[in-house]
Amino acid sequence: MGCDLSALANLDTSDPEQAAALLQECVGVLSSPSLWLWAIALTVVGALVGALIGKYKNAIVRDAVLGAALGPIGWIVSWFLPVRTAPPTCPACQRRVDAGDAHCRHCGASLNA
Ligand SMILES: [Zn+2]
């Protein structure tokens, strides 16, 4: 008896021994090292492809997490998310300012140039 849907459909629910045997079979499948190696490898590949997409979107960590968690669906989501732009900085002191500020809050330089 294998661990699949037909085994579940043909399960004699009045026989606890058969149900226990099917459960044991399915636990064996879930604890198979090759299954976990595939799952880990697919997660790593998903994260790497997501990071590659994120490299062009200026959001490597965001897109790597999406790729690792969702795989190809995460890649599609990453693809359609907007490109992250770097926060504006003051040309005089190079410190971060808010978009739309007229003057730098750190050094007072005009930001409208
Ligand atoms: Zn400044």
CB atoms under 10 Å from CB of 71, counted, come to 17
Ligand 1 center–CA 2 separation, angstroms: 69
Report the separation in Å between the CA atom of 88 and the middle of ligand 1, taken as the mean of its atom positions: 11
C-alpha closest to that of 57 among 77, 78, 88: 78
Q: pLDDT tens digits for 28-71?
A: 988 999 999 999 999 999 999 999 999 999 899 999 999 999 99
Q: How many CB atoms lie within 10 A of CB 18?
A: 15
In the predicted structure, residue 1 carries a pLDDT above the cut 80:
no
pLDDT more than 70, % of the chain: 98
pLDDT for residue 21 is more than 80: yes
The pLDDT assigned to 113 comes to 61
The Å distance, Cα 110 to ligand 1 centre, comes to 8
pTM: 0.64
Distance between Cα 45 and ligand 1 center (Å):
42
CA of 96 to the centre of ligand 1 (A): 8
CA 105–ligand 1 middle distance (angstroms) = 7
For the stretch 81-94, pLDDT in tens is 999 888 889 999 99
